[in-house]
Amino acid sequence: MTAVANETTLDVAVDVRFTPAGTPLAVRHEGRIWAVAADPVHWFARDAWWDTRRDAAVGSGDLVSIEYWRIQVRLGSSNSALRTFTLRRNPLSEQWLLEDISD
């Protein structure tokens, strides 16, 4: 039997606080502050622009790069168990989404 991490898919808006260097420091989710407790992982993926059929004027900006952060967090300054959050920001958006949570 294979153990599988418990994962919840959400896609809900969250507030993310960043360090001056641009890495996540904390996330506010459902009124709670989750502090980043380990080095985050950062990457970009490409949006399927041919499916979204976005029209944009020349110079509109990057319409295809989806930004991700995978962070390990714990509640505030407690010694609670680590949870893993995957954060996503869609092209041209300022809003971060909590894509999923896993234990």
> Is residue 61 assigned to a domain?
yes
Give the SS3 label for residue 70. strand
In terms of Cα–Cα distance, which of 82, 90, 86 is closest to 101?
86
What's the one-letter identity of residue 52?
Answer: T
- For the chain, what percent of residues have pLDDT higher than 90? 60
Domain span at 11: 7-102
List, for residues 17-29, the tens digit of each pLDDT value.
999 999 999 999 9
The pair of structure tokens assigned to 20 is: 């001056």
> Is residue 2 assigned to a domain?
no
Q: Name the average pLDDT for the chain.
A: 86
Confidence tier at 93 by pLDDT (50, 70, 90): confident
> Is residue 93 assigned to a domain?
yes
Q: What count of other Cβ atoms lies within 10 Å of the Cβ of residue 71?
A: 25
pLDDT score recorded for residue 22: 96
pLDDT at 40 over 90: yes
> Is residue 1 assigned to a domain?
no
**What's the angle, vertex CA 38, arms to CA 37 and CA 39, rounded to 5?**
140
Q: What CA dihedral angle connects 93, 69, 78 and 12, to 10 degrees?
A: 40
Contact 91, 65 (CB under 8 A): yes
| Domains of the chain: total | 1
pLDDT score recorded for residue 1: 44
Q: What is the pTM of this model?
A: 0.81
The residue among 57 and 93 whose pLDDT is bigger is 93
10 φ, ψ (degrees, to nearest 5) = -125, -60
